[in-house]
Amino acid sequence: MPWLAEDDALGLSIMVMVAGEPVERWRCNYQVCQAACCRIERGLTLLDIKEIVKATRKAPQEFVTLSTVEGPSLPLVLKRRGGGCIFLEQDHGCALHNTGAKPLLCRMYPFLLSRIIPADEPMMVITPAADCPGYGTGPVLEKSFMNEIRRYGRLYVNELRRILRYRNQGVEPKEILRRELQT
């Protein structure tokens, strides 16, 4: 079901399309799936990196690495440890959960970014996480929940464009990070 985006302070409109089975109720039962969503490569926007630095006082090199995927949308990703994200804790919780600095893509759970279709009004296609044990549990996903997803989507696409501008100028990811964190 597509949601028509409204203009926001970024001056950017996007559409968000949820592909796959509809999700009516959901709660993240990460202890049951052992945080399955946190075991895949997770792209970071420059905004995410700055927020994490501010919240944790960690240097970017402690948690950022380069993607191993050929030609990813976001070349900077979360470091991994023991088969999962570096912020994944022993009990499968997220060390960033109460910091307000979770990366944008993590805030979109239980939806995973499938693709962005570029256009003047881009479309973000998201897909419910496969075999999520949280479906059918927890609260009904109200319109406000989807509005939040859409807001994160707008921020994400805006950040993606920022990275692409650098890449089009031939600036390497490490240099992008250096320049951005100086400001």
Query: Which residues of the shown chain bind ligand SF4 in the complex (CB under 6 A)?
Result: 28-30, 33, 35-38, 42, 78, 85, 87-88, 94, 96, 102-103, 106, 109-110, 129, 132-134
Two tokens, residue 148: 């939040």
**Cβ 90 to ligand SF4 shortest distance, Å:** 12
Q: How far apart are the first and last CA of the chain?
A: 40
**Cβ 102 to ligand SF4 shortest distance, Å:** 6
**Cβ 138 to ligand SF4 shortest distance, Å:** 10
Locate all alpha helices (DSSP H) within 120-172, ordered by sequence: 143-168
Which CB atom, from 33 or from 116, has the smaller least distance to ligand SF4? 33
Distance (Å, rounded) from C-alpha 117 to C-alpha 122?
Answer: 6
Q: Give the number of C-alpha atoms closer than 13 A to the C-alpha of residue 47, restricted to the C-beta side.
A: 15
Please give the C-alpha separations between residue 31 and each of 28, 94, 110, in angstroms, as whole numbers: 9, 11, 14
Which CB atom, from 68 or from 169, has the smaller least distance to ligand SF4? 68
Q: Of all helices (H) and strands (E), which one includes residue 127?
A: strand 123-128
Which CB atom, from 12 or from 33, has the smaller least distance to ligand SF4? 33
Which CB atom, from 63 or from 166, has the smaller least distance to ligand SF4? 63
**Cβ 87 to ligand SF4 shortest distance, Å:** 4
